Amino acid sequence: MLRLALFLIGGALIAQPYNGTVVGSVMFPSGKFANAASAFSAGNYITIPSTAVQFTSSTSMSIDVWFRSSAGPGWQFVFGNSTSAAADTVTIWGAFGSNGPRCQIGSGTPGVTTQVNDGQDHHVHCDLSGTTVRTFINGVLSDTYTTTFTAPVGTPFRIGANPAGGDVVNGQIDEIAIFNVSRRTSGFTPPTAAYTGSESNLRALYHLDSNATDSTGASTPLTPGTLSGAVGLDFTAATGGTSPYSYQLQSYTGACASGTFSNDGAALTGQTSSALFARTGATVRCFRVLVTDAASATATSNSVTSPAAGGGMSVN
């Protein structure tokens, strides 16, 4: 195996945060964890960029939220991009005077869930796995239905009121976490503390303590692992940024100097051992690895000269 030592050059690259915007005079009183967003109205709400929910997969996602609500007239819109059941809808809302929160993901039809209009903090988890949507209230499976889902593109998201300013939440909202994988298929114990922002497959995280900042990987840069060897390439997995990672071996002919790198072989995703890289005879080549995370942040290694023919790369 050729082993290459990989270091970030040009400084650490941090995944782009999906920061939201507080519109109007949203308040941030004490909440489930620290503070929470409250005092919503047609002119007081929070917007979230559509890119926060533009997943690479349209068959796997999940959203967590804590909220506190009292019964009120009509529907209350906790988080989402639409009041319809379109294929690209991702919405948490409900008519809390008569039923509980509904997870509207795609064009399927949610059922009635557990009522939670008692003014206490409640946890809702919406989960998409394949064509199945599951709604968990306080960790208990409350609804399951089949849907057709297309990842939303360019659709605005709001917290506390629908995109037209209606269906205002009569209460407060805390700790919205968006993941690009399905995380729950059966009952669980809701989180007892706020997320840290470094959880695996976390797409966006809004603590809503006093703003709409995305706290995903806020202090965790994307850092490539270590590449080493002389015949095969052995590369330790990257850290930071937003997982999963893609590893692309790159090279040029000749000893490492000032050549132009191009992709060499297929990219590897996750921890795996495959992907031959193209070398013929005893041609000397210069190698490095380009790491790309799920938020499209990139980092590259140092370069290493390899004199051997053939070979492959494994990510451990």
User: For residue 28, what pLDDT is reported?
Assistant: 92
Mean pLDDT of successive 10-residue stretches along the chain, which has 316 residues? 24 54 92 91 91 70 89 81 87 80 91 82 93 94 93 84 90 92 92 87 91 75 67 68 76 82 72 46 73 75 67 52
Give the burial class of 260: count Cβ atoms within 10 A of its Cβ; 0-12 exposed, 13-18 middle, 19 or more buried.
exposed
Residue 38: closest CA among 11, 67, 12, 1? 67
Q: How far apart are CA 163 and CA 153, in angstroms?
A: 15
SS3 50: helix
Report how far apart the first and last C-alpha atoms of the chain are (Å, whole number): 12
CB 179 within 8 A of CB 294: no
Q: How far apart are CA 145 and CA 91, in angstroms?
A: 15
SS3 53: helix
User: For residue 278, what pLDDT is reported?
Assistant: 43
User: For residue 159, what pLDDT is reported?
Assistant: 94
User: For residue 138, what pLDDT is reported?
Assistant: 94
CB 41 within 8 A of CB 24: yes
pTM above 0.75, yes or no: no
User: For residue 268, what pLDDT is reported?
Assistant: 65
Q: How far apart are CA 23 and CA 197, in angstroms?
A: 24
Give 5-43 pLDDT, tens digit per residue: 222 222 222 344 788 999 999 999 989 998 999 999 999
User: For residue 252, what pLDDT is reported?
Assistant: 84
User: For residue 85, what pLDDT is reported?
Assistant: 85
SS3 174: strand
User: For residue 75, what pLDDT is reported?
Assistant: 87
Q: How far apart are CA 134 and CA 184, in angstroms?
A: 8
Q: Which domains does the chain have, with CATH numbers?
A: 21-206 (2.60.120.200), 227-315 (no CATH)
Among left, alpha and beta (phi > 0; psi -120 to 50; other), residue 138 is: left
User: For residue 269, what pLDDT is reported?
Assistant: 63
User: For residue 88, what pLDDT is reported?
Assistant: 85
User: For residue 234, what pLDDT is reported?
Assistant: 67
Phi, then psi, of 53 in degrees rounded to 5: -120, 15
Give 202-217 pLDDT, tens digit per residue: 889 999 998 998 988 6
Torsion sign across C-alpha atoms 208, 212, 216, 222:
negative
